[in-house]
Amino acid sequence: MSKAVASLCSSSRAKLLEVWLGPGFEDNYARYYDSGGWTDSAFVNYFAVTGDHPEFANTTEELIKSVHTFSSKPIVVVNFGHISPVIVSWTAKRFPQLVLLNAHRLDAPISFNFNKFRAMMLANVRTGVQLDSDQFVYRGADVLFDSTEREVTKDYPYPILPVHWLARDPEGKDGYEGYEGYDAFRCQTEAGDGHAHPTWTYYALPFLGKLLSTELDDPRHVLDTSIHVQEDEDALNVGLWSVGATKQWCNFDVPYPDIFEDFAKQNGQSLLGCCQYKDSKWYPQGVPLLFVTAHAAKDPAQTRKILGFA
């Protein structure tokens, strides 16, 4: 960890490393964290409640519920915003697998989503699976931890992303405009575009620390490149391409809850007709899907319906 945070320890950036435990979560923390302040494995989420977007607490709560229903792992939630009434209702008794942390917000001019990297570092997990607030997990999601521990090692110290369901490579005839101009870095890798839901082990923390640090430089850039990007997903992809990353997960963050509902109902015919996500360069036969998490779950009522909370 010292190597990961070295570039963030300057006086102007040290505040970004401050984190404190949510009141009332002392017992949960003690259950999962050792005396050195580390936990073996956990889901990690980041979010913020602001005056403009109070709904993020509601979607995050459904994510927390799904972990308690379908996983044996803890979920570490890092709050970079205000304490809302919904957050106050999150207690250690209600959510025994939840560890709630608070941290200072990193915001404009850099995208809020770069707090994702901070959450991954501040959570102090040896093996982690990052989840956005508009996701939920399903039975079988814990398989991601063993797979990550096996693949992210001293010899391969990089986070691994699930394949993106959009074909974004300009070399493909169905390429989606997004990463034109980065071809020099694409040539160094065997992996296409990834979705920004990384899994990692502590071996990848130096990569994440440097990735965040270079985004805070003036001018901003990705690692040792001169490339300027806007979002966390762009930084992860360009950063991984630049180091010659070769690994990628199948799409375990299924794009829409509607698709996941078809899976839960075992509606194979509908699935065959809707979501092969063929990519003429990387996945001409279609993107492999693993139904253990869903993304874009922005309607808490729909999430409760799909997962049986209602």
Query: How many domains does one find in the chain?
Result: 1
Which of 164, 182, 147 minimizes the C-alpha distance to 282?
Answer: 164
Chain-wide mean pLDDT for the chain? 89
- Tell whether the model's pLDDT for residue 3 goes beyond 50: yes
pLDDT level of residue 141 (50, 70, 90 thresholds):
very high
CB atoms within 10 A of CB 148: 21
- Tell whether the model's pLDDT for residue 5 goes beyond 90: no
Range of the domain at 66: 2-307
pLDDT level of residue 310 (50, 70, 90 thresholds):
very low
CATH of the domain at 155: 3.90.550.10
Would you list the DSSP string of 235-250? HHHHHHHHTT----B-
For the chain, percent of residues with pLDDT exceeding 90 = 65
